[in-house]
Structure 1
Amino acid sequence: MAALSVFDLLVRHPFLSDFPVAWLRRLAVHGRPVLRHTAYRLFREDGPAGHFWLVRSGVVALDFHVPGRGDVVIERVGAGGVVGWSWLLPPYRWTLGAAVAEDCHAIEFDAAQVRLLINADPGLGRELTERFLTVMGGRLQAARHRLIELYAYPDHPAGAPGPGGAGR
Structure 2
Amino acid sequence: MPSLSVFDLLAVHDFVADLPGDWITRLAGTGHPVYYGTGHRLFREDGAADRFWLLHSGVVAIDFYVPGRGDIVIDRVGPRTLIGWSWLTVPYRWQFGAVVAEDVRAVEFDAAAVRNLVDEDPELGRELTARILRVTADRLQKARHRLVELYAYPGVTS
Q: TM-score, normalised by structure 2?
A: 0.99
- CA-CA distance at 1:139 after TM superposition: 1.0
Q: Does 1:32 align with 2:32?
A: yes
Point out 4+ residue stretches in structure 1 off by more than 3 angstroms.
none
Q: Cα deviation per residue 1:142-161 (whole Å; 9 max; x = unaligned)?
A: 110000000000022x11xx
| Secondary structure of 1:155 counterpart | coil
RMSD: 0.5
Q: Secondary structure at the match of 2:8?
A: helix
Spell out, residue by residue over 1:87-144, the C-alpha distance to the aligned partner (whole angstroms, 9 max, x if none).
0000000000000000000000000000000000011000000000001101110110
**Matching residue of 1:113:** 113
How far, CA to CA, are the matches of 2:50 and 2:82 in structure 1?
15
Aligned length: 158
Task: Tell me the SS of whatever aligns to 2:46.
Answer: coil
Name 2:155's counterpart in structure 1.
155
Query: Could you tell me which residue of structure 2 aligns to residue 86 of structure 1?
Result: 86
State the Cα distance separating 1:81 from its structure 2 match. Answer: 1.1
Distance in structure 1 (CA, Å) of the matches to 2:82 and 2:76? 11
Q: Percent identity?
A: 62
Q: TM-score, normalised by structure 1?
A: 0.93
Question: Partner residue of 2:129?
Answer: 129
Equivalent residues in 2 for 1:48-59, closer than 5 Å: 48-59=48-59
SS of the aligned residue for 2:125 comes to: helix
1:165 is aligned to none
What is the distance in 2 between the residues matched to 1:134 and 1:28? 22
Partner of 1:22: 22
Uncovered stretches (5+) of structure 1, i.e. residues with no partner:
160-168
Give the gaps of 5 or more residues in structure 2. Answer: none
Aligned residue for 1:164? none
Q: 1:68 Cα shift?
A: 1.5
How far does residue 2 in structure 1 lie from its aligned partner after superposition?
A: 1.2
Q: Deviations over 1:46-103 (max 9, x none)?
A: 0000000000000000000112211000011100011000000000000000000000
